[in-house]
Amino acid sequence: MSSSYIGKVDKARKYAEEPERVNIHTFEASFIGNHNTYRVAYRDGDWSCECAFFATRRVCSHTMALQRMLDEMLAGQTTEAAAD
């Protein structure tokens, strides 16, 4: 393994420990629920989900679960946006 590759692996490890470096703008995920698989998306601060519950309430267990998983990175964006 080359020293330049080892350096990149070390840098990636350090970056992974600093989630404040990341701002998520858009992503999509397939969420395997108890009854079906749903596509969940995040676009510039707005969540969406294909499930029927989300369609009527604009929130669901799938989006809430992803918010909990990504809480640290998404919270950083709120702080940054407030500073602008």
**Domains contained in the chain, number:** 1
Cβ 48 vs Cβ 54: under 8 Å: yes
pLDDT tens, 16-43? Answer: 999 888 888 899 999 999 999 999 999 9
pLDDT tens, 50-62? Answer: 999 999 999 999 9
**Residue 18 or 71, more confident:** 18
- In terms of residue numbers, what domain contains 23? 3-83
Whole-angstrom CA distances from 1 to 5, 7, 12, 53 are 7, 11, 16, 50
Cβ 41 vs Cβ 47: under 8 Å: yes
pTM for the predicted model, two decimal places: 0.72
Q: Would you place residue 75 in the very low, low, confident or very high pLDDT band (cuts 50, 70, 90)?
A: low
Residues ≥6 apart with Cβ < 8 Å to 59: 47
Cβ 49 vs Cβ 39: under 8 Å: yes
